[in-house]
Amino acid sequence: MNDPYYFLDWDETCMKTKALKEKLFELLGSIFSYSEVESSYKEIRGDGYNPEKHFQYLLQKSPHTPEEVEKLESDYAEKSTEFFSQLDELLYPDAQEFIESHRGQGKVVILTFGNEEYQHQKIEGSGYGDLEVIVCSSEEKVGPLNKWLEAHGEDPAKVEFVFVDDNPHHVARLREAFPGAKTFLLQRDHTGELQEGSITSFADLQEAVQELSREEAYSPELILR
């Protein structure tokens, strides 16, 4: 397969999103109380989490004078600007190394789910604002990927690409929808024997792609990807 596209999930595939969440709670907790931040998270995350929305929710939850509002907004703006300029520290090193080695070819595309503004904020804050990003508004990734491929002159029924995600549901759906794709479930904390099509890090990806290509060349009837 020559110069394939690499479609990569972002959260917990490339970025330590759980650690990011904790650091965001600490940031908001330095402005409001940490307990308020933690309890309100569950109330607002239903339609897609966004830190700015979280801040505004907390701001409106208690009465403030105009002067207090101005001070709180200024405090958040200053702290969040600094925070979101240093997100490369929260990337998995193997993912960062992989992206760096392939980004110049224009073949790395982030295929992610969540609030569009926040997803872009995370990716741009990690230093990868130059990458193409597909943000899915629902947890279904097949439809948006289909549209992207068609828009780029690719036949979804025939195109070959590599897809990596830590969510088994997304991997299973992509395998079913795109028989020509090489799809991999990323299991970072897995111990023991891996199932077919699973990897533990991006360091294993190239070898796994090559191995799958050898199997397909040897056995064209192979349908398990």
- The DSSP call for residue 193 is P
Separation of alpha carbons 68 and 131, rounded Å: 39
User: 13 with 166: CB under 8 angstroms?
Assistant: yes
- Does residue 222 register a pLDDT over 50? no
User: Tokens standing for 5?
Assistant: 């596209």
User: Tokens standing for 180?
Assistant: 């020509």
Q: Which residue in this structure is represented by tokens 């995370």?
A: 122
User: Pick the residue with more confidence: 112 or 45?
Assistant: 112
- Does residue 223 register a pLDDT over 90? no
Domain ranges of the chain: 5-16+91-218, 17-83
- Does residue 123 register a pLDDT over 50? yes
pLDDT classification of 225: cutoffs 50, 70, 90: very low
DSSP one-letter string for 3-35: S-EEEE--BTTTB-HHHHHHHHHHHHHTTS-HH
Of 3.40.50.1000, 3.40.50.300, 3.10.20.600, 3.40.50.2300, the CATH number of 5-16+91-218 is 3.40.50.1000
- Does residue 217 register a pLDDT over 70? no
Residue range 94-122, pLDDT digits in tens = 999 999 999 887 789 999 999 999 999 99
Backbone angles phi, psi at 159, to 5 degrees: -65, 145
- Does residue 46 register a pLDDT over 90? no
Once rounded to an integer, what is the mean pLDDT over residues 21-28? 96
Residue 76 in 3-state DSSP?
helix
Q: Enter the pTM of the model.
A: 0.89
Once rounded to an integer, what is the mean pLDDT over residues 25-50? 90
Tell me the average pLDDT of the chain.
Answer: 89
Separation of alpha carbons 210 and 166, rounded Å: 20
- In one letter, which amino acid is 45? R
Element (H, E) at 159: none
User: 97 with 202: CB under 8 angstroms?
Assistant: yes
User: Pick the residue with more confidence: 217 or 179?
Assistant: 179
Residue 192 in 3-state DSSP?
coil
- The DSSP call for residue 63 is -
Separation of alpha carbons 9 and 164, rounded Å: 6
Once rounded to an integer, what is the mean pLDDT over residues 150-161? 89
User: Pick the residue with more confidence: 216 or 88?
Assistant: 88
Once rounded to an integer, what is the mean pLDDT over residues 24-28? 96
- Residue 92 confidence (pLDDT): 97
- Residue 215 confidence (pLDDT): 63
User: Pick the residue with more confidence: 47 or 205?
Assistant: 205
- Residue 13 confidence (pLDDT): 97
